[in-house]
Amino acid sequence: MTDRYMELTAPVFNVQTYSIHDGPGIRVTVFVKGCPLRCRWCANPESNLARPQLMTYAAKCTACGRCVAACPQKAVSIGTLHDKPCAITDRELCVECGVCVDVCPCEAREIVGREKTVREVLEQVLKDKLFIDASGGGMTVSGGECLAHPDFTEALLYAAKEQGLHTAIESSSFASEAVFDQVLRYVDLALLDIKHMDSDIHRELTGVPNEQILSNIRHAVHDLKKNVTVRVPTIPGYNDSEENIRATARFVKEELGPDVGIHLLPYHRLGESKNESLGKVMDLSVSVPSDEHMQDLKRIVESYGLYCQIGG
Amino acid sequence: MYELKPISDRVAKMREKYRTTKPRICIERYRLVTEFYQANPQLSGLLKRALALKTICENIPVNIYEDEVIVGEQGSSYRSSALYPDTHYIAWLKDEAYTVETREFDSYEFREEDRRYVLSTIDYWIDEGGIGPKCDLLMPEFLREHEGNGVSTFSFKPGVRAPIGHFTANFRKALRVGFGAIRDEADAKVRELEAQGIPGSTIENYNFYRAVSIVCSALITLAKRYAAEARRQYEACADPGRKRELGRMTDTLEHVIEKPCRTYLDALQCIFLYQTAIALDGQLHGLSYGRLDQYLIEYYRRDLAEGRITPAYAQELLDLFYLKVAEINKAVAMSMCEAAPGYDSGQLMTLGGVDSEGNDATNEITYMMLQAAGRLVLHSPPQALRIHRGTPDALWEAAICTTRIAGGVPSFESDEAIIPSLMARGLPLERARDYCLIGCVEPSGCGDEWPACGGNGGDAYFNLANALSLAINDGYNIMPARDGKKRDQRLGPSTGFLRDMKSLYEVFEAFKTQVAFFVKLHVACTNAFEYAIRRISPLPLISATIEGCMESGRDVTEGGAKYNSTGMAGIALGNAADSLQMIGHLVFEKKICTAAELHDALINDWHGYESLHEYINTKAPHYGNGDAHADRFVRPICDWFADCVNACTGPRGNRYAAGMYPVTTNVIFGRITPATADGRVSGQPLADGISPRQGMDTEGPTALLRSILQFDNQHRFSNGTLLNMKFDPHTVRTEEDIRKLATLMKTYFANGGMELQINIVDSATLRAAREHPEEYRDLVVRVAGFSAYFVELSKAGQADLISRTELGL
């Protein structure tokens, strides 16, 4: 690689410090925007599209009307949301130019996502080196889907390794094997999701089938010899049946090996308010799983002789 | 995972009694000192104080309540507060005599006949007998030209001036030597001096030893009176279990105080009774216990080895001891409770750390102390855990789990920063290693130093935000006086107006001039105040044990202790540092506005400059986000303040010790501080601890710590620093999470951090607690240097806590 790799870019929507549930130690997690999946429970809906997007926060809005006056598209008007006056954005008219963000006095509007270079991101990550080194932490690339930006992700991981950082990705594994190989080259730990073992249901829930995903995970363990942890976002009523959890555990044990652990990630509701902020309605009515239920599922996984933990 | 063992039924019952008993103002002590002072106008100084204590110890009611094992009281009923008109500001009670029962927080029952007695005698204390009128006479005259400056709060109004307090007695000597032997030593000195003809100035030493002898006897008398009460109950008791216990208590109370302790129970009772007497002497103000785990361990291990005690019973006794400590409280003016609400008495305990050889000193009692704090969920006593490189992982885990339950108990203190800081102020290595924490976060020698580390009670603080305001207003305080009038008099040095300043350098130099001037003023007043205190309230009861006093024949207030210092704490570091860089950013770098515009905006409290204010709040860089450029004034401010303070000399020939902590004064000092360039509105609370302005640190805990670590000269602040962090409970759930949080804290300490305390609570919970206090009665939160029940905080205190940034994912 030449130094040009430092100038590669991707739309990044967050660089999260004190990230403690995305791999060992204290980490910095880089979230890239753009994802080929459309999981119905998505916790980061702002990461779906690869372009910058407008988010609005009704709770902070004071309905002062400055955005209404400023909007060149006349897409904003004062309406009512949650029983209080609030600036409402017509998403049909809005072109996400960001003029309203500049005039908003209450930080109730934000453009999420900005093209950033590897150099820029790495600089941000390395600011926390003190804490990363002290804790045996590192950098994790998450999303969105980091496989959707293979050149950038590969370059960022490479650059991080150059600085002596432990690297990890959080991924759906949904990509061609060639892309998967490219990105995983500089990865120390791959946190890979299995959202459902039944391909048809998988497609129904996420928009894509799971054959390629499962094949990539197998490939990561057996051919690339990567340290892999399987993660199951546990969504009540969708993939938390005993049958599916057993099938997942069986797959891990039989096809990946007993050394691969499983993290059960209980569904949380953060994504719901984010959908509202994006002007979308969430097509899911689901509750947060109970602690007892999560413990039951954990015991099921453990009955296969696998390591299992609740949460990342 | 760390586990709390359940408390015994008895402890549960006592805890419930503690939580449900409304404190009451008891006037027994008040009556005793009033009668004594009025009957003895000829007495002064040491002998007056010694004889007053003798009267108190001989006559204060002694009560032993049901189920109690450790005993000692300030008043005639459970959880009552004594009054200290001889050593504390008392005029407030005249104003609040009818409202103290119903005021917003820290309300007290005050019986009608007691109120009548107090109102009929209180003018004596306000006009002549008390501390206020005597102190004012001795204040430096030039203070008059600078009163109302807002930087140093000294004034001539007999304000809420309290005695120095803030020390820890030498409990080791009380335990190991006993007051019988100390009295004998004092008597021997008296006879020796008499035989010599009391030559020259030894008359001072002669009177000192006489006073020590009197207070030792008084303390022994108090213990024997409790012993007599225990014996009376023993004889009347029908329950065989309780009777046995009362028998043991009688034996203990007959023995301790006078003679060296034999057992763990002896030791706990001796410590509490000595502390009780110190409080009764009128010093209840940051009275700290020192290294409790280090004193107790030898007695505990011996009892265990000799079969006198079980670990469970030892823990129960420690629980009961904690409940007694929590019970002690002091009724103070409404304006004072606001700074430290929740019936707080600041009786800090120290645990952990290294021994005098530098080895880890953690022991069984260290863990038992955390157990007591965690399972009792008490806001008091506060605890300070000393941390060093060799602190066991198990202790880290126990401490973080405890702080999660008991809101901010313990606080974490770094041996690696504090030991060198104490050596720099004169303690030798092995003494520095034996340090303890006083009051909130103030390091001190343990039993060998007179630290005056709370400075002078209410006047220990130095407002850096107002120093900057005066710096850019030619020395004028633009905040109107209490009567609403503009202040016409220049109160600080003339340093020009911001509108005329040509560079950031000029602004900073003006700031430095104000700081240097007001440090001198503050020191002059502090020294004068201490001189007054020496006359009004010398402390033979403390001097009896503090190392150096018996040897030198001098009271601690006269400089008798082996080591001496005086503390002075800077507050609003975050506002000052952020405002300076903000002036640079707005006026000289980005040219967002002119110096004149910013100056007008500040004078007008942002009215008419809303868009500038918005820009500052939403777009401009701020201290606290790991941005080295925005953080660049932290170090120079701290260096300058430490230079100014540490160069000053106190009245005991001691060095001053700089600190950087506001406790909760950030709320009340905020009220007298005009708008600051960091975007803070006039009257709003100042920044908490050494943190940035509330809500301005948005980049997470590692970025905040990177900013704070610009303050990497904390070892120059031997009076302590204070950093509060609030974490989302979701980030502190599993053992792994706890390890990671410990690593974060260790990294702060490894890079020069001195003190850290954490709240693990989300703002949603705090908001809910504000709405439904009845459901959150036991929610303990760290406020500043101490913890409190959230529901007992003032509205302003609650709002300040909620507004602090919550760190996490």
Nearest chain B residue to A130 by CA distance is B747
- For A19, name the nearest residue in chain B, comparing CA atoms only: B809
Tokens for B207, please give them: 């009177």
Nearest to B134 by CA among B95, B94, B87: B87
Rounded Cα distance, B757 and B731, in Å: 16
Q: Which residue of A has its CA nearest to B614?
A: A105
Q: What is the pLDDT of residue B158?
A: 58
Q: Select from B446, B393, B444, B384 the least CA-distant residue to B414.
A: B384
Q: Would you say residue B716 has pLDDT above 80?
A: yes
* Selection from B613, B582, B571 nearest residue B508 by Cα: B582
Question: Which of A187-196, B483-492, B610-619, B751-760 is modeled with the greatest confidence?
Answer: A187-196
Q: Are B743 and A311 in contact (CB < 8 Å)?
A: no
* B729 pLDDT more than 90: no
> CA of A312: how far to CAs of A2, A145, A247, B401, B542, in Å?
35, 17, 21, 20, 54
Q: How far apart are CA B349 and CA B696, in angstroms?
A: 33
> A16 and B700 in contact by Cβ < 8 A?
yes
Strands A76-81 and A53-56: unpaired
Find, in chain A, the residue whose alpha carbon is nearest to that of B615. Answer: A105
User: A234-244 pLDDT, tens per residue?
Assistant: 999 999 999 99
Buried b (16+ CB within 10 A) or exposed e, B132-162: bebbeeebeeebeebbebbbbbbbeebbbbb
State which H helix or E strand residue B167 sits in: strand B167-168
> Which ranges in B695-757 belong to alpha helices (H)?
701-708, 735-750
Average pLDDT (B23-29) is 97
Is B699–A17 a contact, with Cβ atoms under 8 angstroms apart? yes
Query: Stretch B495-523: mean pLDDT, rounded?
Result: 97
Please, which pLDDT band fits residue B131 given cuts at 50, 70 and 90? confident
Measured distance CA(B13)–CA(B637) in Å, rounded: 51
Reply yes or no on whether the pLDDT at B808 is more than 60: no
ipTM passes above 0.85 = yes
Which residue type does B746 have? K
The answer for residues whose C-beta is within 8 angstroms of residue B155's C-beta and 6 or more apart is B143, B147, B148
Q: Which residues of A touch B (CB under 8 A)?
A: 16-21, 25-26, 104-107, 127-128, 130-131, 134-135, 309, 311
B744/A127 Cβ within 8 A: no
Residue B454 has pLDDT above 70, yes or no: no
How do residues B89-125 score in pLDDT, each as one tens digit? Answer: 898 999 999 999 999 889 999 999 999 999 999 999 9
**Each residue's pLDDT tens digit, B621-634:** 999 999 999 999 99
Please state which of the ranges B44-48, B529-533, B633-637 shows the lowest mean pLDDT. Answer: B529-533
Write the residue in B618, B744, B750 that is nearest to A26 by C-beta: B744
- When CB atoms are compared, the residue of B702, B736, B737 closest to A128 is B702
- In chain A, which residue's Cα lies nearest the Cα of B702? A18
Query: Is A53-112 CATH 3.20.20.140?
Result: no
Q: Is the pLDDT of residue B499 over 90?
A: yes
- CA B426 to chain centroid: 22
Taking the domains of chain A in order of start, what are their residue ranges?
5-50+113-310, 53-112
The pLDDT value recorded for residue B310 is 97
How many whole angstroms separate alpha carbon B237 and alpha carbon B249? Answer: 13
- The whole-model pTM stands at 0.93
pLDDT, mean of residues B469-484: 94
A138: β partners: A27, A166
**Local structure of residue B675 (DSSP, 8 states):** -
B658 near B639, Cβ under 8 Å?
Answer: no
Query: Is the preceding peptide bond at A144 cis, omega within 30 degrees of 0?
Result: yes
User: Which chain B residues contact residue A26 at CB under 8 A?
Assistant: 702, 740, 743-744
Helix (H) or strand (E) holding A302: helix A291-302
Q: What is the pLDDT of residue A280?
A: 83
Question: How far is the C-alpha of A282 from the C-alpha of A271, rounded, in Å?
Answer: 9
Q: Which residues of A touch B631 (CB under 8 A)?
A: none
Residue B785: per-residue pLDDT: 60
| pLDDT for B162 beyond 70 | no
Q: By a Cβ cutoff of 8 Å, what residues of chain B touch chain A?
A: 610, 614, 618, 626, 699-703, 705-706, 731, 733-734, 736-737, 740, 743-744, 746-747, 750-751, 807-809
Per DSSP, the three-state class of B602 is helix
Per-residue pLDDT band for B157 (boundaries 50, 70, 90) equals low
Distance CA B192, CA B315 (A): 46
Mean pLDDT over A192-201 rounds to 97
Predicted confidence at residue B809, as pLDDT, reads: 42
Q: How many CB atoms lie within 10 A of CB B775?
A: 11
Chain A and chain B share a number of CB contacts under 8 A equal to 60
Encoding tokens for residue B99? 């409202």
Report residue B208 CA to chain centroid gap: 28
Considering only the beta carbons, identify the residue of B701, B734, B743 that sits closest to A311. B734
Task: Work out the percent of chain B whose per-residue pLDDT is above 70.
Answer: 97
Q: Determine the distance in angstroms separating the CA of A305 from the nearest CA of chain B, rounded to an integer.
A: 21
Mean pLDDT along residues A83-91? 92
Nearest CA in chain B to A106: B618
Instruction: Please give the residue that has the higher pLDDT: either B332 or A172.
Output: A172
- The class of domain A5-50+113-310 in CATH terms is alpha beta
Q: Do A128 and B746 touch (CB under 8 A)?
A: no
Mutation target to probe the A interface, by most A beta carbons within 10 A, among B389, B611, B702, B807 is B702
Helix (H, G, I), strand (E, B) or coil at B657: strand
